[in-house]
C-alpha cells in the first residue's frame, strides 16, 4: 500500500492488444502535487497507460487507487481527473469562452456559475482578450491554453497531459512550459505528463518515469537519473538524446546549457 501523500497508486497494470503486450505489470505511485513525466519512444505504452488512468481504456489486470479509493472500474467523469489531448480537441464552432464553459454548463452543480468560472480561467491562462475568438483564429499556443483552461475549470485534482506541446514550434513550446509550471504551482494540481521529448521531461518534472517496451526502466528525479542511469537504455535513449536536444535548443534559450 502507498504512503499518506500518495495521490495515485498503480499496481500490476497490464494491457494486451491481440498478440502484443503493451503494458507488462506496471506498478508505480504518484505523489500529491507532483509533476511526473512519463517518458519513452512511440509504442512504449505511455499513452495506453494514460488512457487506463483516465478510464477511457480498461486494463487486463491490475488496480488504480486514488486517495486510497479503488477507481479501477470507475467511469471517467467519476475520477476527479482532467486530460489535455495532443490535438486539444476543441469545438471548432464554439468560441474560446464557449469551449471552456461547455462542460460546466452540462453539469448540474456548475451550471449556474459556468460563465463566471470560464471567464476566470481564460484570465488565468492570459486569454481574456480572445474569449470571443474561434479556434481557427487562435495560434497553436493559444488553442492549447484554451484546452488547459477548460480542464482547470472542472477543478480536477489530477491533470493528465498527452504530448500537449508536440504540435507547437520551439519558441512557443518553451514559453508554454514555464506557463504550465506556474499554473501547477498556483493550483497545487498533480500533473502526469506524457512525452517522448527528453529535454522537456527534464525541464518540467519532479520525477521522470522512463518506459521501454511496456515496462518501467527507471523512475526517479532528473538529477538522480543523470547521476545513476539504471541501464544502457536509459543512458542512450535519455541522456545521450538529452545532451543533443539541449545543444539544439540553446539558441532559443541560452540558459539551457548551464
Query: What's residue 173's pLDDT?
Result: 85
- pTM summary value: 0.89
Query: What's residue 168's pLDDT?
Result: 83
What Rg, from alpha-carbon coordinates, does the chain have? 18
> What is the C-alpha to C-alpha distance for residues 147 and 175, in angstroms, rounded to an integer?
16
Q: What does the mean pLDDT of the chain come to?
A: 90
Tens digit of each residue's pLDDT (9 = 90 or more) over 64-82? 999 999 999 999 989 999 9
Residue 183 has pLDDT above 80, yes or no: yes
Query: What's residue 169's pLDDT?
Result: 83
> With contact defined as beta carbons under 8 Å apart, do 172 and 140 qualify?
yes
Average pLDDT on 188-212 reads 93
Specify if 241 maps to a domain. Answer: no
> What is the C-alpha to C-alpha distance for residues 163 and 147, in angstroms, rounded to an integer?
13
Give the range of the structural domain holding residue 87, as residue numbers without chain letter. 81-155
What CATH number does the domain containing 98 carry?
A: 1.10.8
Overall domain count for the chain:
1
Specify if 1 maps to a domain. Answer: no
**Model confidence at 102, in pLDDT bands (50, 70, 90)?**
very high
Residue 251 has pLDDT above 80, yes or no: no
Specify if 38 maps to a domain. Answer: no
Helices and strands in the chain, H and E counts: 9, 10
Specify if 86 maps to a domain. Answer: yes
**Model confidence at 6, in pLDDT bands (50, 70, 90)?**
very high
Specify if 112 maps to a domain. Answer: yes
Residue 61 has pLDDT above 60, yes or no: yes
Tens digit of each residue's pLDDT (9 = 90 or more) over 125-175? 999 999 999 999 999 889 999 999 999 999 999 999 999 888 788 888 888
Query: What's residue 252's pLDDT?
Result: 59
Burial (CB count within 10 angstroms: exposed 0-12, middle 13-18, buried 19+), residue 233: middle
Please tell me the least confidently modeled range out of 26-40, 46-60, 185-199: 185-199
Specify if 119 maps to a domain. Answer: yes
Specify if 191 maps to a domain. Answer: no
Tens digit of each residue's pLDDT (9 = 90 or more) over 18-50? 889 999 999 999 999 999 999 999 889 999 999
Residue recorded with cell 506556474: 182
Residue 177 has pLDDT above 90, yes or no: no
Query: What's residue 75's pLDDT?
Result: 95
Specify if 171 maps to a domain. Answer: no
According to DSSP H, which parts of the chain are helical? 46-54, 96-106, 114-124, 140-153, 170-187, 198-204, 222-227, 232-233, 241-249
**Model confidence at 206, in pLDDT bands (50, 70, 90)?**
very high
**Model confidence at 257, in pLDDT bands (50, 70, 90)?**
very low
Amino acid at each position: 500500500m502507498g504512503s499518506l501523500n500518495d495521490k495515485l497508486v498503480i499496481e500490476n497494470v497490464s494491457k494486451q492488444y491481440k498478440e502484443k503486450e503493451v503494458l507488462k505489470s506496471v506498478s508505480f505511485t504518484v505523489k500529491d502535487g507532483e509533476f511526473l513525466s512519463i517518458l519513452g519512444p512511440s509504442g512504449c505504452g505511455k499513452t495506453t497507460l494514460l488512457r487506463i488512468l483516465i478510464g477511457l481504456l480498461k486494463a487486463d489486470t491490475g488496480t488504480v487507487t486514488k486517495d486510497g479509493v479503488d477507481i479501477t472500474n470507475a467511469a471517467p467523469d467519476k475520477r476527479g481527473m482532467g486530460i489535455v489531448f495532443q490535438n486539444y480537441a476543441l469545438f471548432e464552432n464554439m468560441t474560446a469562452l464557449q469551449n471552456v464553459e461547455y462542460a460546466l454548463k452540462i453539469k448540474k452543480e456548475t451550471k449556474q456559475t459556468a460563465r463566471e468560472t470560464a471567464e476566470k480561467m481564460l484570465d488565468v491562462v492570459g486569454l481574456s482578450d480572445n474569449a470571443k475568438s474561434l479556434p481557427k483564429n487562435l495560434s497553436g499556443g493559444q488553442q492549447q491554453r484554451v484546452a488547459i483552461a477548460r480542464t482547470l475549470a472542472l477543478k480536477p485534482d489530477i491533470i493528465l497531459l498527452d504530448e500537449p506541446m508536440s504540435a507547437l514550434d520551439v519558441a512557443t513550446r518553451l514559453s508554454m512550459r514555464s506557463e504550465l509550471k506556474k499554473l501547477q504551482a498556483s493550483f497545487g494540481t498533480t500533473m502526469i505528463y506524457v512525452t517522448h521529448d527528453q529535454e522537456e521531461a527534464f525541464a518540467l518534472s519532479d520525477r521522470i518515469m522512463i518506459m521501454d517496451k511496456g515496462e518501467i526502466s527507471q523512475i526517479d528525479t532528473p538529477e538522480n537519473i543523470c547521476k545513476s542511469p539504471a541501464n544502457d537504455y536509459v543512458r542512450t535513449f535519455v541522456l545521450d538524446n538529452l545532451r543533443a536536444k539541449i545543444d539544439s535548443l540553446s539558441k532559443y534559450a541560452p540558459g539551457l546549457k548551464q
